[in-house]
Amino acid sequence: MQPDLTRLNARYEGDAEGALRVALSGALGKIAMVSSFGADSAVLLHLVSQIDRDTPVLFIDTLMLFQETLDYQRDLAEHLGLTDLRVITPGKDALGATDPFNRLHLADQDACCDLRKTRPLEQALKGFDGWITGRKRFQGGARQGIDMFEYDADFHHLKINPLASWNGKDLAAYMDAHALPRHPLVAKGYPSIGCAPCTSPVKAGEDPRAGRWRGSDKDECGIHVVDGRVIRRQAS
């Protein structure tokens, strides 16, 4: 039975720890966390680790990530004592058939994200009732109106956004308070970090996500919220 999202959102709005505790209690089914191990991922990973270090954490390695991200993923997971980290990669057959020369991103970024991130994530989420994300309203775009608890009727998954109401200052303060290690690329001008070919440094005064898919109208990696539904953007 689908949980009462209106009640959950009213009860836990602004209470990230409370939302995580109910999500990881088993009351909402089997829940995984999905993390990019990006610029501010340490905050949510730390919160989860304080409640249940055995929480399944899904990390999608698109095989086009920065080496710094791969190193950070390994070091941060060890630092937090995460016991069930699952590294998800795109299937070899799918890559061979669709992107054998690793150049799809040059012709169709949406198709590349679909191949390397969305499809592997959909496969990895089988067996789970929901997943925890690090999306926040202040990031703008499709994220501006997100609730802490959402449900997608097509994929039959609950989506939990514990940090929906947090802003950049909240994240920085939490990182400082808990002495959490920073992603090394943040100091080099990357406040939002994705795949290496599609991520560039951000100049002072620019939106923090301006370096993602610079020069295009793309602002998400393939999983979107449209009218409350999570959909996969299809290649044209």
CATH for 5-232, among 3.20.20.70, 3.20.20.150, 3.40.630.10, 3.40.50.620? Answer: 3.40.50.620
Q: Where are the domains of the chain?
A: 5-232
pLDDT tens by residue, 174-217: 999 999 999 999 999 999 999 999 999 998 888 877 888 776 66
pLDDT at 236: 31
DSSP annotation of 137 reads: G
pLDDT at 155: 61
Strand (E) or helix (H) holding 60? strand 57-60
pLDDT at 153: 66
Residues with catalytic function: 221
For residue 79, report the phi and psi dihedrals to the nearest 5 degrees.
Answer: -60, -40
Instruction: Indicate the average pLDDT of the chain.
Output: 89
Beta strand spans in 124-228 (E): 130-132, 149-152, 157-160, 223-226
Show the tokens assigned to 105: 């991103």
Of 105-114, 121-130, 131-140, 145-154, minimum mean pLDDT range: 145-154
**What band does 71 get if pLDDT is binned at 50, 70 and 90?**
very high
For the whole model, what pTM was predicted? Answer: 0.88
Give the three-state DSSP class for 43: helix
Show the tokens assigned to 138: 């202040």
pLDDT tens by residue, 29-69: 999 999 999 999 999 999 999 999 999 999 999 999 999 99
pLDDT at 215: 67
Look at phi and psi of residue 131 and say left if phi exceeds 0, alpha if psi is from -120 to 50, else beta: beta
Q: If you average pLDDT over each of 64-68, 113-117, 153-157, which comes out highest? A: 64-68
